[in-house]
Homo-oligomer: A and B are copies of this chain.
Amino acid sequence: MSKDYVIGIDLGGTKIYTAVVDLEGNIISEETVATNAAEGEQAVLNRILGTVETVLKNVDISNVKAIGIGSPGPLDVKNGIIVNSANLPFKNFNIVQPLKEKYKLPTFLDNDANVATLGEFMFGAGKGTENMVFVTASTGIGGGAVLNGKLYRGNTANALEIGHMTVMVDGPRCGCGNAGCAEALGSGTAIMKRGRDAASSNANTTLKNYSEVTSKEVFEEAAKGDRVSKEIVNTALSYLGIAVANIVNIFDPEKVVVGGGVTNAGQIVFDKIQEEVDNRCLKAISENCVIEKAVLGGKAGVLGAAALAIMEIK
C-alpha cells in the first residue's frame, strides 16, 4: 500500500529539526542540526537543504506531497519570505523558493505560533475539534487559532496577539510599548522580573539564595513554600488565566490548548487558568470549553510544519 508523506521543517535560532511525517503525525525519519546562524544566509540554507536530503534517504520521494516550514517571524507568509528574525540570518529572504525548485513540491511557510497551533490541532491536544485556540506562555505570551476547521491568520497574518491584550489599564509597561499587556503580567519574563525585584528588595524570600533568578527558581521556591514566590506565581498565573478567560469569551472555542515553558510548572498553572475561566466567562461558553495542556512538546514545531503542509494541500 502506498502511503502519503509530507516534510516538516522546524527552523529555529538554535536548531533545525526536519522530518518526514505521515498524515497521522508519525515521524518516519528525522534529523536535527545546529542552526549556527552566525555562518550566514547561504550556509544555513544549505544546512536546511541538507536535512531534507537526509530525511528523504529511505523514503520514496513520489510519496511526499508537500513541504511545510515553521519559522520565527515576522514573515511574508503569502510569498514565502522571512522578512526578519532576531535569531536567524535571513532578511527578506525567500525560504520557500529554493525548496520548491529542488523538490518540485508545494512548499509553505508560517510562523512558530501558527505552526504549533496546527500541530496541536491536527495531531495533539486539539485533535477532533473545529474551533480551538492555542496559547503559548513562555518568555512571551502568544497563540494561534483554528476556527471553523481552518487556521485563522487575520488581515496581516498577525492575529492572536494574545499577549498584547490589555488586562490592567495602568499596568506595567510591556515590551510592545503598551501598558498592562497580559504578557507584561503573566509571562515567564514577568515572573522572572518580579522574582529579581523581590530578591533585591527587603522582602523575606528564599529567592535571595540565587545569584540569578529566572522564572524556574520562582516556581521552585513557590513550590517549596516561599511566601513571596508563591505570591508572584499566583499573581502571574491569574493574569495568564485572565488572558485565557478573555479568549474563551471572545472565541467560544471547544478547547484552549496551553503550551510553552510556563506550563512546565505543572498542574498549578492549569488550576489557576481554570479558576479565572470559571470566574470570568459566561457559563454557556465556559461549561462547553476545555482547557488542556499541549502535548507535542519539542515536536510541536516539526509536526506543526508537517500539519501546515497537510492543511494547505488538502
Contacts and interface: CB of A to CB of B under 8 A. Distances in A.
A253 B168 contact: no
Contacts of A230: none
A166 B245 contact: yes
A184 B196 CA distance: 36
A183 to B, nearest CB: 11
A1 interface: no
A9 to B, nearest CB: 24
B288 A156 contact: yes
Given A159-B252, A164-B282, A282-B164, A242 B169 contact: yes
B253 A154 contact: yes
Contact of A249 (B165, B238, B279): B165
B252 A155 contact: yes
Interface string A228-266: 000000000011001001110111111000000000000
A86 interface: no
B280 A178 contact: yes
A161 interface: yes
A164 B249 contact: yes
A284 B246 contact: no
B178 A279 contact: yes
Q: Count the copies.
A: 2
Contacts of A130: 155
A280 to B, nearest CB: 5
A134 to B, nearest CB: 13
Interface string A161-175: 110111111000000
Interface string A118-150: 000000000000110000000000000001101
B285 A156 contact: yes
Given A161-B282, A247-B250, 16 more contacts: A130-B155, A147-B148, A148-B148, A154-B253, A157-B252, A160-B250, A161-B252, A161-B285, A165-B165, A165-B246, A166-B246, A166-B280, A167-B167, A167-B169, A169-B242, A176-B282
20 contacts: A74-B284, A147-B147, A154-B253, A154-B285, A155-B252, A155-B289, A156-B285, A156-B288, A157-B252, A158-B282, A160-B250, A161-B250, A161-B285, A164-B280, A165-B165, A166-B242, A169-B242, A178-B281, A247-B250, A250-B250
Interface of A: 74, 130-131, 147-148, 150, 152-162, 164-169, 176, 178, 238-239, 242, 245-247, 249-254, 279-282, 284-285, 288-289
